Amino acid sequence: MHPNLCTPGDHRLSRRQWLGATGALALGGLSLPAFAEELKKKRKQVLFVWLDGGMSQLESWDPKPNTTFGGPFRAISTSVPGTQISELLLQTSKQMHRLAVVRSVSTQDNSHSAGVDRIQRGDPKNRGVVYPYFGSAVANWVGPGESGLPPYVWIKPGNGGFIDREAGFLGPKFGALALGDGKPPDNLIRPKDLSIEDDLERNELRKLADARYSAGRRKENTEANSFAFDMAEQLQKKLELFDISKLPAKDSQRYGTHDLGRHMLLARRMLEAGVTFVKVTSYGWDTHGDHFNGAASLHPKFDKPFAAMLEDLAERGMLDDVLVIAISEFGRTPRINGHLGRDHWPEAWSVAMAGRGIQPGVVEGKTNALGTEVASEPHDIGHLFHTWYKALGIDPKKSKYQNAGQPLPIAHDDMHAIREVLA
């Protein structure tokens, strides 16, 4: 657990096609008019912004100024007439015409240990198996495409590596390649004293050994091992993706030089290069004490790169093909505690999304005057999973996992998509 938290498919463009269409590998500053139409036909991607600890809906998507629990921040107008959000999301307010916000989210778990898993797995009915996180699920359904890059990349502070626990019953092959602090995986660069020819021979020998080992054994682990080597080989060819220092200075200014800003900028490059699912994690949102000073620092750090990302994806013709989601494991309590903090509140909170399959400029649902409960139809995480799958062109009612011959639903059987936010 992070120390800041409390304890209780569709084809992609190949690299050659990319180069031919753009004239140069300019992943940081593309201007793409004709190419955008081709992207629209071919891409199916997700940007999943995970605000770990619990973002306050009252200081973001559902402000309640001048009420008992509203706090000191104002609500401001947005690019959608009649829709207001917190003044702490000033830049995002200008992008509201591209967003859909669900203000009627009501989930069950108010602990990090349960909420993090439940929200990212979609919480289907208990089938006695461990379900995959959404990133692993999308990697399974959509695949890596022709980019050859890992289908699920996780950009996060701290350590990196291959995180297979998120794949659940899908098996380790569908885990996340975590880029700790946005850096390439350890030992990615081939040693200078190892020639390309020798490296190729070593890999051929490894493949033979893997095939011999896997004969008569369960294939999941050897498949994952081979998959990791194959992905590393592709990443070795695209090391320039990690070097954001060569981007225009205005990009760093727009996204911010803090961790989340740098990581969101790297996420944009990963999406441009064809990665199917990119998760960006920001830690430290568990504001049980001194909440309002914390919010005044945290929310603008999210606001700036999130708004820049929406603007850039739209400019590049990618927003119709990249499903963008900003979410936490729950919201924060309307009531302010004795430490001037807000605690965990899964009963009534908000989720924002944009892009592929999403109706822009929509606010769905509402909470009561104090924000203590949902005042319209409540929506659990299963409803959101149905919505996201539908947005990606995957029918959650008809599509089934196959786990050792057992058909399993991909989203909660008793729930449905939130039609109001679907395009």
Residue 37: predicted pLDDT: 44
Q: What percent of the chain has pLDDT over 90?
A: 66
Asked if residue 244 belongs to a domain, the reply is yes
Highest mean pLDDT pick, 52-56, 157-161, 249-253: 52-56
The residue that leads in pLDDT, 271 or 247, is: 271
Question: Domain count of the chain?
Answer: 1
Q: Distance (Å, rounded) from C-alpha 363 to C-alpha 100?
A: 6
pLDDT band, residue 354 (cuts 50/70/90): very high
Kindly report the CATH number assigned to the domain that includes residue 20. Answer: 3.40.720
Contact 391, 358 (CB under 8 A): yes
Q: Is pLDDT above 90 for 197?
A: no
pLDDT for 211-224, tens place per residue?
776 676 666 666 66
Residue 340 burial class via C-beta count within 10 angstroms: exposed 0-12, middle 13-18, buried 19 and up: middle
Given a cut of 80, whether residue 170 has pLDDT beyond it is yes
By residue range, what is the domain housing residue 40? 15-421
**Span 35-42, average pLDDT:** 43
Q: Which residues contact 347 (CB under 8 A, 6 or more apart)?
A: 106, 372, 373, 374
387 or 28: whose pLDDT is higher? 387
Answer yes or no: are the C-beta atoms of 110 and 359 closer than 8 Å: no
Whether 3 is covered by a domain: the verdict is no
95 domain-assigned: yes
Average pLDDT score over the chain: 86
Confidence (pLDDT) at 188: 65
Q: Which of 75, 169, 83 has its CA nearest to residue 130?
A: 169
CA 322 to chain centre: 11
Residue 2 within a domain: no
For the segment 225-242, what is each residue's pLDDT rounded down to a tens digit?
666 667 767 777 777 788
Q: What is the pLDDT of residues 287-308, one digit of tens each?
A: 999 999 999 999 999 999 999 9
Task: Pick from 87-91, 105-109, 182-186, 203-207 the range whose average pLDDT is largest.
Answer: 87-91
- What does the pLDDT read at residue 17? 41
Structure tokens at 273: 């290069």
For the whole model, what pTM was predicted? Answer: 0.84
> 381: closest CA among 124, 39, 154, 50?
124
Residue (of 70, 247, 76, 266) closest to 183 by Cα position: 266
Is residue 15 scored above 60 in pLDDT? no
260 in a structural domain: yes
Is pLDDT above 70 for 400? yes
As a whole number, mean pLDDT of residues 62-81 equals 96
Tokens of 106: 């009501």
Q: What is the pLDDT of residue 303?
A: 98
Compute the distance between CA of residue 306 and CA of residue 311 in angstroms, rounded to an integer. Answer: 9
Of 12-16, 190-194, 220-224, the least confident: 12-16
Q: What percentage of the chain has pLDDT greater than the value 70?
A: 81
Asked if the model's pLDDT at residue 22 lies above 50, the reply is no
Instruction: Say if CB 105 and CB 118 are below 8 A apart.
Output: no
Task: Taking residues 268-291, report their average pLDDT.
Answer: 96
Determine, yes or no, domain membership for 6: no
Secondary structure class of 229 (helix, strand, coil): helix
pLDDT at 3: 42
Q: Which residues in 243-283 belong to E strands, given as ranges?
A: 277-282
